[in-house]
């Protein structure tokens, strides 16, 4: 990646009190060179090792050290809310413990609690401390919360000791930073996903349904949220979704169409993973049909093609993705659907194959796009299929302003 590939990224560089604080100076310079806006936040401990002046000579933004600063009454909320990433290098056992338990005693730990941005923690400490069960448990907890830990290296430590605990190299930390930004490639984007099979009422208790479990759509919604998107999930499934995903529960094709009609026009990406019924009973009865009345004659009417409707009114720049569950003629059907539905991508799967599509935990798809060779994604967990679909979506999105 080029030297200015972090251009415009707003990074809070947390520096806590270990001898490796001097290496934060180099990290700060490299980040600024790569085009990032770097706001250093030093703990009291860090100031024992390096001077604020050193960092302020290299950072693009002011160095902050105090929570209580009259000129700026609540610096932590502004810093936390307005950054794209927080990197703590070096992170001492104290800062790690405070962050793990949600203790906000200084500007850095307050900022950590006041952010929704991704956080990278680069621990540095003596081997005994790094291997202490309390630190091990704290690191495990942070990892489970999605915090990126850049493991310390083995090598010379302060006081001439050797062992694990030396701050990772600046290059390793920069790689982790770049990886986070790459993995946040949908930040600032709004993604709408539909999922599950619609249920069309016959009477008060009976429905026409299909075998869709909603798993693939839910996996796409989860993956998009993890990649930084704001996600609306219009679903018929009752699979729990992560906090932060806006879930809209629907049952019928008409309800799905109404919800999507409201939210799709302003979305950057719309992914129609739902298996929408093609036909619905014309006149569902309010009461339960009696068995004694004999088999009912159910008159059906075609449902609106939601995807084709969205394709016809698609705002400029929006990426529209449809699905095609096929049992034969996969390629011909998928290519036809690209045109007929006005979609940018059609994700096709051969549901007659074992382990593929409806109600399985796995899927295998071919992604069709205009003017490109189809891309085959071999049998994998639906979460992996979701990532592959979003990779293609991210390629098609024009860069954000």
Single out the residue of 32, 125, 272, 367 in contact with ligand C5P (rule: CB under 6 A): 272
Catalytic residue among 210, 333, 349, 363: 210
Rule CB under 6 A: is residue 165 a binding residue for ligand C5P?
no
Is-contact 23 170, C-beta < 8 A?
yes
Q: Would you say the C-alpha torsion 56, 62, 65, 66 has a positive or negative sign?
A: positive
Lookup result for tokens 């109600």: 359
82 annotated active-site: no
Minimum distance from residue 199 beta carbon to ligand C5P (Å):
13
Minimum distance from residue 302 beta carbon to ligand C5P (Å):
8
Minimum distance from residue 272 beta carbon to ligand C5P (Å):
4
| CA distances in angstroms from 139 to 117, 130, 147, 169, 334, listed in the order given | 18, 10, 9, 19, 46
Backbone φ and ψ of 308, nearest 5°: -65, -40
Minimum distance from residue 94 beta carbon to ligand C5P (Å):
52
Lookup result for tokens 């990779």: 391
Minimum distance from residue 37 beta carbon to ligand C5P (Å):
41
Lookup result for tokens 């202490």: 132
Binding window for ligand C5P (CB under 6 A); candidates: 93-101, 159-167, 199-207, 301-309: 301-309
Rule CB under 6 A: is residue 386 a binding residue for ligand C5P?
no
Minimum distance from residue 193 beta carbon to ligand C5P (Å):
10
Q: Would you say the C-alpha torsion 171, 81, 387, 330 has a positive or negative sign?
A: negative
Rule CB under 6 A: is residue 366 a binding residue for ligand C5P?
no
Single out the residue of 75, 152, 311, 322 in contact with ligand C5P (rule: CB under 6 A): 322
Select from 92, 139, 98, 143 the least CA-distant residue to 118: 143
CA 297 to chain centre: 47
Per-residue x/- track, 324-363, ligand C5P (CB under 6 A): x------------x--------------------------
Q: Please give the Cα distance from 229 to 268 (Å, whole number).
A: 10
Q: Please give the Cα distance from 18 to 266 (Å, whole number).
A: 48
Please say which residue, 219 or 306, places its beta carbon nearer to ligand C5P: 306
Binding window for ligand C5P (CB under 6 A); candidates: 54-62, 92-100, 168-176, 318-326: 318-326
Q: Beta-strand (E) ranges in 43-195?
A: 85-91, 119-123, 148-149, 153-156, 162-166, 190-195
Single out the residue of 276, 319, 330, 334 in contact with ligand C5P (rule: CB under 6 A): 276
Single out the residue of 246, 255, 278, 381 in contact with ligand C5P (rule: CB under 6 A): 278
Q: Please give the Cα distance from 50 to 57 (Å, whole number).
A: 12
Size of site (CB under 6 A) for ligand C5P: 13
Binding window for ligand C5P (CB under 6 A); candidates: 85-93, 178-186, 222-230, 319-327: 319-327
Please say which residue, 40 or 214, places its beta carbon nearer to ligand C5P: 214
CA 291 to chain centre: 49
Rule CB under 6 A: is residue 274 a binding residue for ligand C5P?
yes
Rule CB under 6 A: is residue 306 a binding residue for ligand C5P?
yes
Q: Please give the Cα distance from 230 to 346 (Å, whole number).
A: 22
Single out the residue of 59, 86, 168, 307 in contact with ligand C5P (rule: CB under 6 A): 307
Catalytically active residues are 210
């Amino acid at each position: 990646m080029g030297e200015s590939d972090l251009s415009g990224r707003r990074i809070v560089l947390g520096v806590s009190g270990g001898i490796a604080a001097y290496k934060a100076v180099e990290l700060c310079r490299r980040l600024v060179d790569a085009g990032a806006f770097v706001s250093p936040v030093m703990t009291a401990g860090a100031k024992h090792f390096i001077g604020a002046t050193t960092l302020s000579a290299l950072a693009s933004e002011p160095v902050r050290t105090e929570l209580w600063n009259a000129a700026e009454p609540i610096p932590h909320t502004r810093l936390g809310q307005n950054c794209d990433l927080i990197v703590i290098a070096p992170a001492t056992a104290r800062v790690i413990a405070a962050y793990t338990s949600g203790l906000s005693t200084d500007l850095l730990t307050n900022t950590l609690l006041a952010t929704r941005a991704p956080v990278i923690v680069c621990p540095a400490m003596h081997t005994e401390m790094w291997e202490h069960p309390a630190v091990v448990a704290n690191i495990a907890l942070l990892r489970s919360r999605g915090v990126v830990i850049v493991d310390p290296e083995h090598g010379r430590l302060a006081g001439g000791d050797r062992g694990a605990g030396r701050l990772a190299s600046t290059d390793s930390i920069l790689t982790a930073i770049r990886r986070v930004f790459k993995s946040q490639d949908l930040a600032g984007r709004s993604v709408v996903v539909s999922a599950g099979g619609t249920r069309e009422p016959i009477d008060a208790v009976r429905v026409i349904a299909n075998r869709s479990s909603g798993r693939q759509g839910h996996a796409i919604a989860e993956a998009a949220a993890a990649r930084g998107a704001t996600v609306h999930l219009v679903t018929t499934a009752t699979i729990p979704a992560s906090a932060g995903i806006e879930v809209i529960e629907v049952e019928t094709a008409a309800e799905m169409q109404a919800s999507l009609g409201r939210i799709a026009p302003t979305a950057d990406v719309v992914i129609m993973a739902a298996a929408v019924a093609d036909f619905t009973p014309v006149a569902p009865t309010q009461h339960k049909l009696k068995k004694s009345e004999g088999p009912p004659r159910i008159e059906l009417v075609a449902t609106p093609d939601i995807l084709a409707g969205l394709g016809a009114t698609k705002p400029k720049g929006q990426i529209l993705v449809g699905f095609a569950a096929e049992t034969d003629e996969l390629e011909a059907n998928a290519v036809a659907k690209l045109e007929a539905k006005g979609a940018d991508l059609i994700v096709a799967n051969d549901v007659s194959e074992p382990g593929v599509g409806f109600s399985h935990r796995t899927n295998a798809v071919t992604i069709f796009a205009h003017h490109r060779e189809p891309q085959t994604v071999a049998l994998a967990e639906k979460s992996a299929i979701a990532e592959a679909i979003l990779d293609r979506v991210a390629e098609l999105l024009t860069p954000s302003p």
